[in-house]
Structure 1
């Protein structure tokens, strides 16, 4: 987990928590198949990180726009992965062997 955390901006770790809760809510609603939850979390992570990046960066040039888009996408994927990792840790800790 430390490896992932090292790449996630500290202020975006809370997005992983939000995505975890979103995934749990989707799972309990039973309206969407479980196999789509990671994809939904990934898309939501990219959007939420995009909102954050756009709020803290100046985007006037094409290079700044590309950097902001790259940051939003990579951070979104990382926080979605982090939320899935946390979900798996919780599931595995409940198992007895």
Structure 2
């Protein structure tokens, strides 16, 4: 499963998976945010950080390029946030004893 998803994530954005994983852990331990909101926060942060990367690396001369940059940033942000949540669940499941 993770191999299929990582085929769609830009390799240079895979580091965001780790960043978002630790951000999620920090939010969970801080207990300032309800658990149900953490995935939404991670998704928004993933999109924002992906947007910064896309803006920095892509030409934005035409409306088509801008639209593609926005689309890419949103999709990549959602994918890295999903992977960070997936990584979190893998860690949780390996710690369970059944």
Q: What TM-score results when the alignment is normalised by the length of structure 2? A: 0.98
Instruction: Look up the match of 2:67.
Output: 66
Over 6 Å off, 4+ runs: none
How many matched pairs? 97
The unaligned stretches of length 5 or more in structure 2 are none
The unaligned stretches of length 5 or more in structure 1 are none
Matches within 5 A, 1:11-90: 11-90=12-91
Shift of residue 54 of structure 1?
0.3
CA distance in 1, matches of 2:59, 2:70: 12
Q: Provide, for residues 57-79 of structure 1, a one-character-per-residue CA deviation record: whole Å limited to 9, x for no partner.
A: 01010000000000000000000
CA distance in 2, matches of 1:21, 1:96: 24
CA distance in 2, matches of 1:36, 1:47: 17
Q: What TM-score results when the alignment is normalised by the length of structure 1? A: 0.99
CA distance in 1, matches of 2:60, 2:14: 23
Pairwise CA RMSD: 0.4
CA distance in 2, matches of 1:23, 1:38: 8
1:9 corresponds to 2:10 = yes
